[in-house]
Structure 1
Amino acid sequence: MAAGKVLSFGELLLRICPDGDGQWLGENKLPFFVGGAELNVATALALWGVPSAYLTALPENFISEQLIGYMQDRQIDTSPVVMQGERVGLYYLPKGKDLKNAGVIYDRAGSAYADLTPGTINWDAVFEGVSWFHFSAICPAINQNVADVCEEALKAASERNIFISLDLNYRAKLWKYGKDPVEVMPALATYCDLIMGNVWAANKMLGMPLQEELVADIEKEKLLQHATLTSEAILKEFPKCKIVANTFRFDHGTKGIRYFTTLYTQGELHVSQEYVVDQILDKVGSGDCFMGGLIYGFYHQRSPKETLEFATAAAFKKLFIESDATTTTVAEIEETIREYAN
């Protein structure tokens, strides 16, 4: 594929992490991290040497200036950023919790990004020199306007033959504007060349069949069978899509994790090596890191299997990093693949 920039589109969020016991109130301190699913992807790609650009909306104030400086220090091209509105989106997540966990509180209404409307973004300028466009299902979950902006972006990217990837991130606490994901996502998925998620998200967001008997006992062979089933259903329903990736992440013991992934393309299911570990640090951003790894591999025209192993190891390493985006280098990821090789 043409080696242009990878453009990631989504909302920059600040993740604020109060401790569960309320100690932060006595200490007057709240740890926070710069996040947002698509920014995590953009940050990983820039770290790994892929030309990475980021499109979001931020208000004109000193916080935004500092955030833009922060991204530029990480070699992310921020020229597409739209300056408008009044505030940066926030979310609160108790330390060590998972985003799918009920603990998350979103404070995103009325943010600069949530106030985006169709017709505001100059797609000619934004897509200049771009060969890959990435977004996630979190964007259209915010409100109808943002969903419409996503569709506008996808049309513009398709017209320019830009490769499009979608992460089927499901956030139950968003989707509050009267539509179910399955009423919005299939129209957007139509434009996508690569769809990443898991068999549950594909069911919830794209209406793909979910066979309960295959997922009931989380037996690996049955899960792999379901990955094939889901992938083939997606490729059939969305003919433009050529690659489907699924992640499987399960708790292991009290604080550990069991993790493996699949990639289906050209009629073949590739399965990653499995990572099992007794203790992890932070689940946030692991899926974004996996997505970044897929983009990295395909961008460099690696084989599907190599791409999958790289993405899986990158996501696994992210479980030991206390921030939203990864700080692991390509060399460290490749070392991890060797270290855990069966």
Structure 2
Amino acid sequence: DWEHIFGKLGVRWFHTGGIFAALSATTAELTVEAVKAANKHGTIVSYDLNYRPSLWKTIGGLAKAQEVNREIAKYVDVMIGNEEDFTASLGFEVKGVDHNISNIELDAFKAMIETAVKEFSNFKVAATTLRGVKTATVNDWSAILWHDGQFHESRKYPGLEILDRVGGGDSFASGVQFGFMEFNDAQKAVEYGAAHGALASTTPGDTSMATRKEVEKTMGGGGARVVR
């Protein structure tokens, strides 16, 4: 009941993403319905593009992914996704990226974000994690966030030892949400997101085990290890 959730209860922030939208033809329709309702009531909408070809292939493939995601994007305030997500889901190109997306120039990604926010002027924030995969267990990790015409880069976490990389993006998204809801500060948002995502990568499963205290310690240079 969107009217009850957004209208009467006054939910402040609604988050969903491309994995849910791709589960079936009806979840795609439901996602569009939800973001439209949230937008109507002034609820902040964040969306993690999270392009997964294996999910979209049964409901129309890349063309359907772009059709659905470009419709959803019209109602999104905070758009989250890496270079592959933006190119596949929204049709934007990143210059200087090979087809395997093994390496990316930060300036090229910034240029793509600037192009995206020109087309979707409703985007108030665009953010992504930056992962340099050295091996399956060692990644360089950081994040970048665009807000109000400026880019904000997080602390860098070079040589991050990965226990389970699943959930790093979700933890980044929730950290960004917390930073904005608690402080309304773009730099803090990208720092909370990057630190939370780093910590999630050092623990098993895709659900965060990190406390706020641990995230803030990591943000301050305490290292991406859980305090025991």
Q: Which residue is equivalent to 2:192?
A: 310
Q: CA contact under 8 A between 1:214 and 1:226: conserved in structure 2?
A: no
Q: How does 1:1-342 map to 2 (within 5 A)?
A: 122-127=1-6, 128-175=9-56, 176-180=58-62, 181-213=65-97, 218=103, 222=105, 224-253=106-135, 255-277=137-159, 279-339=161-221
Q: Which amino acid aligns with 2:76?
A: C
Could you tell me which runs of 5 or more consecutive residues in structure 1 were left unpaired when the two chains were aligned.
Answer: 1-121
The Cα offsets for residues 260-316 of structure 1, whole Å up to 9 and x where unpaired, read as 110011211111121123632101111000000010000013421111111100000
Q: CA contact under 8 A between 1:144 and 1:177: conserved in structure 2?
A: yes
In 2, the alpha carbon distance for the partners of 1:278 and 1:312 equals: 12
In 2, the alpha carbon distance for the partners of 1:214 and 1:284 equals: 24
> Could you tell me how far 1:340 is from its partner in structure 2?
5.2
Taking a change above 3 Å as real, the CA distance of residues 242 and 278 of structure 1, as seen in their structure-2 partners, is closer
In 2, the alpha carbon distance for the partners of 1:169 and 1:213 equals: 18
In 1, the alpha carbon distance for the partners of 2:75 and 2:140 equals: 32
Higher relative contact order (CA 8 A, sep 6+): 1
> Could you tell me how far 1:213 is from its partner in structure 2?
4.9
Q: CA contact under 8 A between 1:227 and 1:246: conserved in structure 2?
A: no
Taking a change above 3 Å as real, the CA distance of residues 273 and 257 of structure 1, as seen in their structure-2 partners, is same
Q: CA contact under 8 A between 1:255 and 1:279: conserved in structure 2?
A: yes
Q: CA contact under 8 A between 2:152 and 2:186: conserved in structure 1?
A: yes
In 2, the alpha carbon distance for the partners of 1:133 and 1:318 equals: 22
Q: CA contact under 8 A between 2:94 and 2:109: conserved in structure 1?
A: no
Q: Which residue is equivalent to 1:3?
A: none
In 2, the alpha carbon distance for the partners of 1:322 and 1:254 equals: 14
> Could you tell me how far 1:199 is from its partner in structure 2?
1.5
Q: Considering only aligned residues, what root-mean-square deviation do their CA atoms show, in Å?
A: 1.9
Could you tell me which runs of 5 or more consecutive residues in structure 2 were left unpaired when the two chains were aligned.
Answer: 224-228
Taking a change above 3 Å as real, the CA distance of residues 153 and 253 of structure 1, as seen in their structure-2 partners, is closer
Q: CA contact under 8 A between 1:197 and 1:246: conserved in structure 2?
A: yes
Q: Which amino acid aligns with 1:227?
A: F
Q: 3-state SS of the aligned residue for 1:232?
A: helix
Q: 3-state SS of the aligned residue for 1:249?
A: strand
Q: CA contact under 8 A between 2:82 and 2:128: conserved in structure 1?
A: yes
> Could you tell me how far 1:129 is from its partner in structure 2?
2.7
| Paired residue total | 217
> Could you tell me how far 1:228 is from its partner in structure 2?
1.3
Q: Which amino acid aligns with 1:287?
A: G
Which protein is richer in helix relative to its size? 2
Q: TM-score, normalised by structure 1?
A: 0.60
Q: 3-state SS of the aligned residue for 1:307?
A: helix
In 2, the alpha carbon distance for the partners of 1:317 and 1:217 equals: 23
Q: Which amino acid aligns with 1:184?
A: V
Taking a change above 3 Å as real, the CA distance of residues 217 and 178 of structure 1, as seen in their structure-2 partners, is closer
> Could you tell me how far 1:214 is from its partner in structure 2?
8.2
Q: TM-score, normalised by structure 2?
A: 0.88
Identity %: 30
Q: Which amino acid aligns with 1:126?
A: I
In 2, the alpha carbon distance for the partners of 1:138 and 1:295 equals: 19
Rg bigger for which structure?
A: 1
